[in-house]
Chains A and B, each alone.
Chain A
Amino acid sequence: GAVVSQHPSRVICKSGTSVKIECRSLDFQATTMFWYRQFPKQSLMLMATSNEGSKATYEQGVEKDKFLINHASLTLSTLTVTSAHPEDSSFYICSARDTTELAKNIQYFGAGTRLSVL
């Protein structure tokens, strides 16, 4: 099946630094990727929809200058948490849709990145 690779799986950083998370579709092309945030014991909250070659669409309440998204190719999207603070500590999950299977309404998820900001 389709695989989405997310890296790193875990990152610890100091407050004020920036962290980049990569999301790659390994065996398919993804015009659209999604970034979610998950708080402990809670559901996934959609942060933004990333479209290849264009600007990301952010959900209400998500700071676009804080969470920079780049989707420069059909297989890679990145999320950069800028000037991270302890309240940004969370589990971030990306997902991707296979461009050739849009009618199937299937998303493939990465394994997630646990960010801890000290």
Chain B
Amino acid sequence: GNSVTQMEGPVTLSEEAFLTINCTYTATGYPSLFWYVQYPGEGLQLLLKATKADDKGSNKGFEATYRKETTSFHLEKGSVQVSDSAVYFCALIVNTGGFKTIFGAGTRLFVKA
């Protein structure tokens, strides 16, 4: 079946530290991969996406590369800010048999000043 596994949080970093949040997936077919961010009390916002192998999604200093050989889509940022504190969700969409998004469990990030 289709599933997304991401590293458990919370992740606590100091400002300007390097961030990696691991995400791996299992899927039938060829999924599109996404990272969403959720700030406290809000809905989800699309952070970045990649639709095929070796694509790199990037936005606001965040990057993730679609690695088909390792079925991974790890999120990285070179220098985090306090304002990056949020919950990050890795997700995939497979369009076989209908559109459905599968979310990972979410990883909470705390960035300290």
Contact = CB atoms under 8 A, between A and B. Distances in A.
Interface residues of A, number: 23
A108 B49 CA distance: 13
A111 interface: yes
Interface string A1-41: 00010100000000000000000000000001010000001
A43 B93 contact: no
B95 interface: yes
A71 to B, nearest CB: 15
A112 B12 CA distance: 26
Contacts of B104: 43
Contacts of B103: 43-44
Q: Give the secondary structure class of B's interface.
A: strand
Contacts of A46: 100-101
Contacts of A43: 89, 103-106
Q: How large is the interface on B (under 10, 10 to 19, 20 to 34, 35 or more residues)?
A: 20 to 34
A106 B46 contact: yes
Interface string A26-67: 000000101000000111101001000000000000000000
A95 B100 CA distance: 12
6 A-B pairs closest in CB distance: A109-B43, A109-B44, A111-B43, A112-B43, A43-B103, A105-B32
9 contacts: A4-B43, A32-B99, A42-B106, A43-B104, A46-B100, A49-B100, A93-B43, A102-B99, A108-B46
